[in-house]
Each structure stands twice: as structure tokens, then as C-alpha cells.
Amino acid sequence: MLNHITIKNLAVVDFLELELNTGFSVLTGETGAGKSILIDALGLVLGDRAEAAAVRYGADRADITAEFELNNNQISQWLSDNDLDDADNLSECLIRRTINAKGRSRGFVNGQPVPLQVLRELGEKLVNIHGQNTHQALLKTDEQRLLLDNFAGNNALRKELNQCYQQWQKKSAEYKKLQQDTSERDARLDLLRFQVQELQEFDLQENELPQLEEEHKRLSNASRLIETSQSAYYRLSEDENSISSQISHTLNELTALGELDSRLNPVLEMLNNAFIQIDEAGSELRHYIDSLELDPERLNWLDQRIAGIYDLARKHHIEADELYTHAETLNQELQQLENADSHLETLEKEVEEFRKAYFILAKKLTAEREKASQLLAEQVMSHIHELGMGHCVFEIRLQSTDSEQPQLHGMEVIEFYVTTNPGQPLRPLSKVVSGGELSRISLAIQVVTAQFSDIPTLIFDEVDVGIGGGIAEMVGSKLRLLGSNSQVLCVTHQPQVASQAHCHYFVEKQSDDDSTKTTIKVLDKEQRIDEISRMLGGVKITAQTRSHAKEMLEGK
């Protein structure tokens, strides 16, 4: 529900901050005071088209912020799915809209900039505005279908149907793609078989190339490695003046001196370690020399093997070190294509299974919709008649799609039909009613379906235009009833409606020589009596008028 709204520099509003309550609330005030400014602001913050004229004269920009309490899991999930939830406060949603003096605007959800389309999509889940020249979710067939399904308790069945449809659609797409690929499969199979056989015969091993290149480098330089290593070994250990001999001789001399001066002991220790290291290095070098050999045949084989790898890589237009992975990929593709007939047959069976399952669910959903549509239409029409439209006829029609293939929302299009004049044919709701009639029809529908609705806030803009007396009192009674399940806000001129509200907001325009401002305040009990009296009696308020106003309020 809407908890709080802040409006800056919008039309005649300089600054307005308003806390809103649950239940049924009304906005009243003199004609021209700007009662619809709150609804206009809400429309803008929820994505309505903005114009430069909306910005207060002399201001750089208008700024509207609305704070909503999230008590609907579907809205919370939608925010999460679109990465717009506030991790620090999952129970609220903050929506902001700015409009500059040139008419350019920006939208934000929980501090994140979003396109206007996102604001509109979110707005339709949070608020339903009923009134002339406002966005009307009720006129959309999608909303009408949703209202009927909610009323019928079809949510679980509809979700199961949607999931079945998604599975059928996915498997159908896979089947069609595989069918299309079949026409090119034979040519591709011939090529793959040749390529895979060639690669398998070559029998390339994983990481073989770097190992081959390392061995090739060693064999191609074997003469140099043997000659240089032998020379080094001779200098280390075999020569009369080898390094090992010289260190040994030096150790003997210094050992004798060490007996005369112990400060030579660290030097002796280092020389001894060096002698050991030189001796071990010589031993390792000798083993290395023994392992080296000249092998022209092996070197020739390596030349051919490495050349073969690079030739195959060029043939397949890849890098040589990618050839092993490429061979694995080709082999997998070959196996898939060779098993394509079996896979195609399996997919065909799965598509048909999901199709049959879908139509079983769709038939059940159609039956539930047909049963609920008549009951919903009867209840709505009863409320419409009580609201002063005694000649109105309301029907809910289910028109078959006449399709042999599953559809996302079922096998029928659901649409509300109405006629408000005797003898006239019923036509779609969106095409035949005026703003005032639509508001009352909407009210009747909302009263019946409120407990099933997913939209937490309902707004009625002058729903009582052209009515009065007992009908106005009935409108107020139904709005109050609606407020027991939803947050309801209504702009009204009728005291019979205003007197039944749980909360009363008064809109006032204040002007001086320099500016005009609109303010909104919450009325206490005495102030409500004064306002209801004004609405009843006009300019001159008598004691009798105040008594009547007090009686109207105390009767609620």
C-alpha cells in the first residue's frame, strides 16, 4: 500500500508531504482547489507521460517520491527478478520521478534509474487508478482474465498450465531445430566421419605437442649437449687441476691453520659444503651425460610427428595446441548427429506428451472459468444496479481461440462486455462506456473481487460524478466496504461519500499577489463536520446543516 508521498514543484504545489492511511480515504475541497493533484502526481511517479507544463512556474524541476509498503509477495518477487529490490529494506519500495523544465524526466526504483516502461509495469502492480483520462488496467483483457481467475481461485491451476506450456514450447523449439538440421545432416556427417577418422588415426594425445617439442629440442642439440657437458664434468672432477681437487687441497691447508686459529672454522665449514655440492654436481652431470645419445631416427620421427600436428591444425583452421580439444568436440558432434534420429523420436514423444497434458489442464481451466464467469457477472451486475445504473447489462465472455496449438493463458480470450442503454447490443467494456460509468462499473467489479485482487491500492477519481442522494450514499458504502480489504482513495464532491471515509483529507488553494499554492491536510472530527457541512450547504452553513453533517459522520 501507499504509505507516504512527497511532491515538490508540481503544478500549483510548492511542497507537499503526506502520510496515507489504510482503509477508505477521501479528498475533498472547493472546485478548482486541485483535488486531483495527488492522483496526477501518483500517475506521474508510476510512469504516466510528463510534460514541461507539469513543473511549477519558476522552478527548475518537479520531484515526486512515493513510498510503498510491500505486503504482496508477487511484487517483492518482481522487484527481485528485475534486480530492483532493496537488500536493506525488503518490506518497502521507494519510487521517484523527476521532470525538468524542458519536459525531460527520469525514473528511479529504490535508488536505481529505470526506463518509464519499468515504472508503468511496476505501477500497474501497486496502484489501480479508476477515473477519466487515467490508465485503466481494467480495460485490458489481460487484467480481465486475471480478475476472473482470481475470483475463481484458479491461480494454482493457471500456474501449472503456464509451466506446461513453457515445457511444450521449449521441446517444440528443440524438435523443430533438430528437424531443420536433419536436411543438412548427411553432408555434415560425411565430413565429420572423415575428419574424426583422420584425427583418430593420428592418435594425438593430450599435452603431446609440448612434450614432443621439448624432446625434439634436446635431440637436435644432442652433440652440443654431450660435448659441453663432458667438458664441464672434466673441469669439475676429472682434471688434475679440477675444481674439486683445488677445493680439496685448499681445505687441507686451512684445516691445519684452523687448529692454530678457530676463527677460520666458518670458512672451513663453507668450503666443506662447497666441496660436497661440487662432488654431487659432478655425479649428477655424469648421469646426465650417460643419458644423452645421438638418435637420428628418433629425431626424424619427431620432425614428422610435429609437422603432422601443425599440418592438421592448419587444415582445421585452429592453433596447434587446440587440436586435441577440437578432435574431442568433433567426435561429440559426430555421436550426436549419428544418434539424431533416436533423439528426434524422443523429442517428438515429449512434445506430444506435454501437448496432451496441456490440453487436459486447459480443458479443466476452461470449465472453472465458465462456471465462475456467470457467478461473477451476476454479482457485479447486482452492484452496478445499486449504483444507479439499473439498465446496465454486464457479461463475461469466453471466446475460444480456435487454435490446435497450446496458448500461454489458456484456450480462450476473456473479455468483459456491457451495455448501459436498453435495446443496445453488448460491446467490449473498453469501447462503450463514459468515464463516470466506467468508474462505477469498476467500483462494482472491485467490490466483488477485492479479496482476490493482487493490487493493494485503489484510487477513484470523482467516481460519483452525476449522481447524488441515495445512490451517492450507496457509492460511499461500497467504497468503505472495499476499504476493509484494500487501501482506497477517492476524490469526491459528495458528502454522502465523504462521510463514510475512515480518513478525510482536505485540499485547499491559497493565493496571494505573488503565488498560488495547494495544500492537503488531514481533518479531525470537528473539521470533518465543518467540511461535510460545507459540502451539504454551500456558502452559508447553518446549525441544522452542521447537525446533519454530524449525524452522517456518527452513523458510520
Segment 41-53, tens digit of pLDDT: 998 999 988 888 8
For residues 441-448, give the mean pLDDT: 82
Say whether pLDDT at 238 is over 90.
Answer: no
Segment 213-234, tens digit of pLDDT: 998 998 888 888 988 988 898 8
- Taking the CB of residue 336, how many other CB atoms lie within 10 A of it? 13
Q: Report if residue 253 sits inside a domain.
A: yes
Q: Report if residue 482 sits inside a domain.
A: no
For residues 235-256, give the mean pLDDT: 87
| pLDDT for position 190 | 83
Q: Report if residue 266 sits inside a domain.
A: yes
What's the CA gap between 448 and 437, in Å, rounded?
A: 17
Decide: residue 159, CB within 10 A, 0-12 exposed, 13-18 middle, 19+ buried: exposed
- Per the structure, the complete domain to which residue 207 belongs is given by 181-340
CA dihedral 43→45→50→53, nearest 10 degrees, is: 90
| pLDDT for position 522 | 92
| pLDDT for position 148 | 93
What's the CA gap between 43 and 55, in Å, rounded?
A: 15
Q: Report if residue 274 sits inside a domain.
A: yes
Q: Report if residue 362 sits inside a domain.
A: no
Segment 6-42, tens digit of pLDDT: 999 998 888 888 899 899 999 998 877 777 788 889 9
Q: What b-and-e string marks burial along 253-290, b requiring 16 or more CB atoms within 10 Å of the CB?
A: ebeeeeeeeeebeeebeebeeebeebeebbeebeeebe
Reported as a pLDDT band with limits 50, 70 and 90, residue 415 is very high
Say whether pLDDT at 396 is over 60.
Answer: yes
Reported as a pLDDT band with limits 50, 70 and 90, residue 375 is very high
User: Which of 80-84, 336-340, 371-375, 479-483 has the least mean pLDDT?
Assistant: 336-340
**Alpha-helical runs (H) found in 109-154:** 116-126, 141-152
Q: Report if residue 407 sits inside a domain.
A: no
User: Which of 156-160, 224-228, 406-410 has the least mean pLDDT?
Assistant: 224-228
Segment 65-74, tens digit of pLDDT: 999 998 777 8
3-state helix, strand, coil in the chain (%, to 5): 60, 15, 25
User: Which of 75-79, 251-255, 371-375, 462-466 has the least mean pLDDT?
Assistant: 462-466
Q: Which residue has the higher pLDDT, 72 or 196?
A: 196
Say whether pLDDT at 132 is over 60.
Answer: no
Q: Report if residue 530 sits inside a domain.
A: no
| pLDDT for position 133 | 45
Reported as a pLDDT band with limits 50, 70 and 90, residue 135 is very low
Number of domains within the chain = 1
Helix pair angle (265-291, 243-258), 10° resolution? 160
- AA letter at 293: E
DSSP string, 261-280: -GGGHHHHHHHHHHHHHHHH
Q: And the C-alpha cell for 205?
A: 594425445
| Structural Rg of the chain based on CA atoms | 43
| pLDDT for position 134 | 43
- Do 411 and 367 contact (CB within 8 A), yes or no? no
Q: Determine what percent of the chain is predicted with pLDDT higher than 70.
A: 95
Q: Report if residue 82 sits inside a domain.
A: no
Reported as a pLDDT band with limits 50, 70 and 90, residue 259 is confident
Nearest alpha carbon to residue 208 among 334, 310, 318: 310
| pLDDT for position 23 | 93
